[in-house]
Structure 1
Amino acid sequence: MPLDAARRELGSERLTAHEARQRLEHERDSRLVQLTAIDEAGPETNDHVMAVQIDALQRVLREIDAAFRRIEDGTYGTCQDCAQPIPVERLEILPYARCCVGCQRRIT
């Protein structure tokens, strides 16, 4: 079921596809600004800590891209483990979340 239809059916318990895209675009833009700032800091600051930070930022960017794909295929907002809806509050905080909090705790 598309996000927009799900939102109409469930009231305000789900993000619309538009809202989800906006949140994901904001997250992606923020991470890209951070990567640019690291790059502009120059090679002398690219020590181990910076390498770890770059890796983490790139990992989040991959998660964001995956969330965009979930919007397109209609699975965004559904836990990939238990198949239950991910609470909108979680998606507002972490719009690229793949799992609900309970399943995420079991995974990590």
Structure 2
Amino acid sequence: MSVDVSRTDVRQRLEHARNSRLTQLQALVESGQSADDQPAATQRSAIEGVLKEIDGAFARVENGTYGTCLGCGKAVPAERLEILPYTPYCVACQGRAAG
């Protein structure tokens, strides 16, 4: 792991992020909005996307690549990982991936 935090800390951050998204998803389901409601469908899709990113981060923790940018192979800054513990990219590569 190329970041200066323990696996336990990283897992706790990822679990918190996962639980937050699952709570959001549950609230969306309980709101009773139909599947045809475009804003709700868009929000649900975004939450599910983040959950997939979180699962990917757990996998990177396990295989020892957590904190290494999937784009350039350099270390993702610790400050970025504190804000988005599941991000697979540094800021520069995230911009290229989104573009």
TM-score, normalised on structure 1? 0.83
Amino acid at match of 2:9: E
Aligned to 2:40: 50
Aligned to 1:33: 23
User: What root-mean-square deviation, in Å, do the aligned CA atoms of Structure 1 and Structure 2 show?
Assistant: 1.6
Unmatched 5+ stretches in structure 2: none
Unmatched 5+ stretches in structure 1: 8-13
Tell me: CA distance 1:44–1:15, structure 2 relative to 1, closer, same or farther (3 Å): same
TM-score, normalised on structure 2? 0.90
1:58-77 equivalences in 2 (<5 Å): 58-77=48-67
Using CA pairs under 8 Å that are at least 6 residues apart, name the structure with larger relative contact order, 1 or 2.
Answer: 2
Which structure has the bigger radius of gyration?
1
Tell me: CA distance 1:98–1:44, structure 2 relative to 1, closer, same or farther (3 Å): closer
- Contact 2:76–2:89, Cα closer than 8 Å, also in 1: yes
Q: Specify the SS of the correspondent of 2:56.
A: helix
The count of corresponding residues between Structure 1 and Structure 2 is 98
The partner residue of 1:24 within 14, 33, 38 is 14
